[in-house]
Amino acid sequence: MIPILLGFFLLITGYLLGGLKKLSIIPGYKEEYFHADKEMFGVLSGAALFFVALLTFTLPYAYQTFGMSAYVLYGVIVVLCIGGIIGYVRTIQKMNM
């Protein structure tokens, strides 16, 4: 039940970021300090959240099939998604300064 609720929350947040470009819901986001492409950042963040939401939906089934290694793989994928977004933003910020 919890992965389903968390998955829905991530889907809604992904839609707000990717579809509606509501970047103000990101903690620490300040319009005046962000010099990268805001449109691409919203799309990238929303797509990453959609991907993590789909993984969260399937996590209980993956646990039944693969055991604890499913949780480890899930954690690695989530960290890579977050790291990819942070790396993208830092790279674009340096290029635009």
pLDDT tens string 5-30? 999 999 999 999 999 989 888 888 88
Spatial separation of the C-alpha atoms in residues 10 and 16, rounded to whole Å: 10
Q: What is the mean pLDDT of residues 48-65?
A: 92
DSSP state of 28: T
CB neighbours of residue 18 within 10 Å: 19
Average pLDDT for the chain: 88
- For 23, the token pair is 């970047």
What is the structure's pLDDT at 97? 66
Q: What is the pTM of this model?
A: 0.82
Residues with Cβ < 8 Å from 59, sequence gap 6 or more? 3, 70, 71, 74
Spatial separation of the C-alpha atoms in residues 50 and 58, rounded to whole Å: 13
